[in-house]
Amino acid sequence: MSLLPPDPPHGHPLGRIALVGAGPGAADLLTTRALNRLREADVVFHDRLVSPEVLALTPARKVDVGKAVGANLWPQPRINSVVIAAALAGLRVVRLKSGDPSVFGRACEEIEAARLAGVPVEIVPGITAASAAAAALTRPLTERGQTERLVLATATCRPGETADLAGSFRPGTTLALYMAMHRLPAVEAELLATGAPETCTVEIVQQAGTAAERILTTALRGMAAAAADMTNPAILLIRWPVPQARTGTRPTGCHVAAASPLPLL
């Protein structure tokens, strides 16, 4: 029996790997390039959060390498090695990740593994959860004169490390917080300890960009209690506006209902 990989089905000696952003779930939020890669793929290794609607767009063989909570069936090195082995066998491989692969997607490790193996690798960007949440709210992530800094942060670090949320939050910031739902009381306490006003608006969007989308708007103080029945996947948008005296500008207030009807053109 030969130990060599089977002949490449498409006539190229090496396959290639595309780290593709699946977006938040709705198929029409994929980029055209993502759709092309999915249609051309021989095999798709996907995360648990990728929606069935997106997976239905590819004729390729699909392998769920998602990490179920508490299970360790697919540790990162194992994912790296099966993805590389498929590419070395000449297959067009899509590594499909929810949202944007470059945002909390452990893409670094997979790119490095591909480079070490000499396999061509590319990133196809996707719509990250923060952008999908802004769309769900019809409220921009940044608001002129209010929040002019957008920070994408995770509340979950490697085991034994704590996220430095305090270093990310100051006046003028919209903090988009990923992977925070399991430690909301600690997040609330950490952010209040920065001196942020208790009244900072917190918007929590669960399953943004899908039919099951849910939105909760609350204040920073009390957010953990208010969100007790919200579950993952969900993202927090926490806004600490600049003090008005400093900017001299009025709130853009695009999230506030218009006081008078818009003039008819």
Nearest to ligand SAH of 232, 244 (CB atom): 232
- Residue 124 interacting with ligand SAH (CB under 6 A): no
Question: Using CB under 6 A, which of the segments 70-78, 113-121, 189-197, 203-211 binds ligand SAH?
Answer: 203-211
- Which of the residues 37 through 56 are near ligand SAH (CB under 6 A)? 49
Using CA atoms, how far residue 251 sits from 118, 146, 257, in Å, is 52, 6, 13
Residue 181 and residue 217: Cα distance in Å, rounded?
15
Per the residue annotation, which of 97, 100, 179, 230 is the catalytic one?
Answer: 179
Binding residue for ligand SAH (CB under 6 A) from 86, 179, 200, 223? 179
Chain positions 223 to 242 lying near ligand SAH, rule: CB under 6 A, are 232-235
Give the nearest distance from C-beta 262 to ligand SAH in angstroms: 30
Q: Which of 42, 47, 97, 181 is catalytic?
A: 47
3-state secondary structure of 29: helix
Q: How far apart are CA 75 and CA 88, in angstroms?
A: 20
CB of 247 to ligand SAH, least distance (A): 30
For position 97 contacting ligand SAH by CB under 6 A, the verdict is yes
Q: How far is the CB of 180 from ligand SAH (least distance, A)?
A: 7
22 neighbors 74 (Cβ within 8 angstroms): no
DSSP string for residues in 44-103 = EEE-TTS-HHHHTT--SEEEE----TT--SS-HHHHHHHHHHHHHTT-EEEEEESB-TTS
CA dihedral 52, 37, 33, 120 (to 10 degrees): 130
Among the listed residues 104, 146, 190, 237, the single contact to ligand SAH using CB under 6 A:
104
CB of 83 to ligand SAH, least distance (A): 17
